[in-house]
A and B are shown apart, each in its own frame.
Chain A
């Protein structure tokens, strides 16, 4: 085995991490768009505000995650520290908000 330096390790770690971020945030974006489509029979026009809020938040997370992946790549090349856990906390909070919205719909709009 040859000694690898920088981000070009045999496991393609930076690329796999970048793809993991992309499919996570993309799932959120698609879920928000789907909510606009499937929620109207349950909550009426509220589906628009829920869906649009979700799309906006997902878009912001998409930009932030792209920036994070760029910083990770830079840190690996420069040998400096990788980013902390703030964006991860924001992503978890977004998923929690989606779950809370679902529970609120279940309580306020029983079928």
Chain B
């Protein structure tokens, strides 16, 4: 029986999925072969469900970043009836948001994985606030740009 500080997203699962099978097969040892070493060189293997959920969260953030880039390129490329200065400013904000959020997603994945390996609380900071502020600014710019 093990208590997972971070390894059970649902809060309901408090036991090791692999049971005793996991021990002695390399799951419990820190593994420096995997990239990056500053994550996998510490702690021990969390519940694999946690690792997979962390991976999906990274992928969801990556798709968010990709959507921002696609939106920025679309604003640049399509002939839209919006004031040109505000249109290109909106496109640039979306592109920079995508440029920044993609590496933040990976860094957050790595910090989360390391926290789970060491049984510490998950990192609290996320790109959410940045995304919310950026999207609000873009929405205002595009609304004003449509009216002008």
A residues lining the B interface (CB < 8 Å): 3-5, 9, 11, 13-14, 16-17, 20-21, 23-24, 27-28, 31, 34-35, 38-39, 41-42, 72, 75-76, 78-86, 88-89, 91-93, 95-96, 98-100, 102-103, 105-106, 110-111
Contacts and interface: CB of A to CB of B under 8 A. Distances in A.
Interface residues of B, number: 57
A103 B62 CA distance: 18
B73 interface: yes
Interface of B: 10, 17-19, 21-22, 25-27, 31, 33-36, 39-40, 45, 48-49, 51-53, 55-56, 58-60, 62-63, 65-70, 72-74, 76-79, 84, 88, 91-92, 95-96, 98-99, 102-103, 105-106, 109-110, 113
Contacts of B17: 4-5, 9
Classify the interface of chain B: helix, strand, loop or mixed: helix
Given A16-B56, A21-B59, A5 B99 contact: no
Given A17-B56, A20-B60, A95-B65, 15 more contacts: A13-B49, A20-B55, A34-B70, A82-B51, A83-B34, A84-B34, A84-B40, A85-B39, A88-B58, A92-B65, A99-B65, A99-B68, A99-B69, A100-B99, A106-B95
A84 B91 CA distance: 34
A96 B69 CA distance: 9
